[in-house]
Structure 1
Amino acid sequence: MDSWSGSAGICINEHKEILMIKGFDSEGWAVPSGGIEKGESPEECCVREVKEETGYDVKVIEQLKLKETTIKGIQVKTYYFKVEKIGESSGINNPDRIIAEADWKSISEIKAIRHTYPEDLIFLLEQLERL
């Protein structure tokens, strides 16, 4: 069976908002994430993807969870990391040109928006409640 591994960054700012992105071809929002490249650790992938998709430099604080699922016959593993932003955004620099927007979302917005991965909603709210 084919497999894919990726990393996602959960970045929460001082206003208790989560950094999220939206693609051009999607109505849904998601946390920044992407595939792990050859020779890259899950942590390195997370830092690179958050930078490409949001413009923020981040540092990994801890691994929060590993999501394992099967999508269209492909085994998918996604590592979720809590990350902390360093400085301000330098703007989206997404080589695939698939990211339309990056924005900070509050608890009320997170409950209201459409999610690309609806199964992540409870998990995101739990992260905010931990603060």
Structure 2
Amino acid sequence: MEKWLGAAGICLNDKNELLMVLEGRLEGAGKWSVPTGGLADKETFEECAVREVREETGYKVEVVEKLKVKSGVYEDIQIAYEVHYFSMKIIGGKAQIQDPDRLIMDIAWKAQAEIRSLDLNYPEDREYLLARF
């Protein structure tokens, strides 16, 4: 079975809002997630998380701490996954979509109350994300 390796960045601003991206290919069909993406050749999980936040949002970040590793299997497509989550601090940049995969439709800071009802790309992350506030 193929295994997908990736990383995700969790960033909170001074208003206690979470940085999220709307992913999708069709207008109106996107779902929200924290910036997440696949590991590139010879890249560490930390480097991957930093790169994905920059690519998907335009913000420059640094890793504060490793938070968790999520793993499992997408049974419908027979791919195992392992995603490393990191707390990130924004150190520069500005909100700007520059995703080379052209999957990011929007960038937004979301309050805890909004996250409760968002259509998430990874709904299994909802409670974990809500606990980060």
TM-score (normalised: structure 2): 0.92
1:75 pairs with one of 69, 73, 80: 80
Superposed CA RMSD in Å reads 1.1
Q: Are 2:3 and 2:80, in contact at CA under 8 Å, matched by a contact in 1?
A: yes
Name the residue aligned to 1:37: 40
1:124 is aligned to 2:123: no
User: What pairs with 1:38-57 in structure 2 (closer than 5 Å)?
Assistant: 38-57=41-60
- Higher helix proportion: 1
* Structure 1: stretches of 5+ with no match in the other structure: none
Within-5 A mapping of 1:17-28: 17-25=17-25, 26-28=29-31
Residue 27 of structure 1 and its aligned partner are, at CA, apart by 2.9
Identity %: 43
CA distances 1:52-97 after superposition (whole Å, capped 9, x unpaired): 0000000001110000010121110000000011134151111111
- Cα distance per residue 1:87-122 (max 9 Å; x no partner): 341511111111010100001111121111111000
| Counterpart residue identity of residue 64, structure 1 | L
1:111 paired with 2:116, answer yes
SS in 2 for 1:112: coil
SS at match of 1:76: strand
Gaps of 5+ in 2: none
Runs of 4+ in 1 over 6 A off after TM superposition: none
Distance 1:115 1:4 in 2: 20
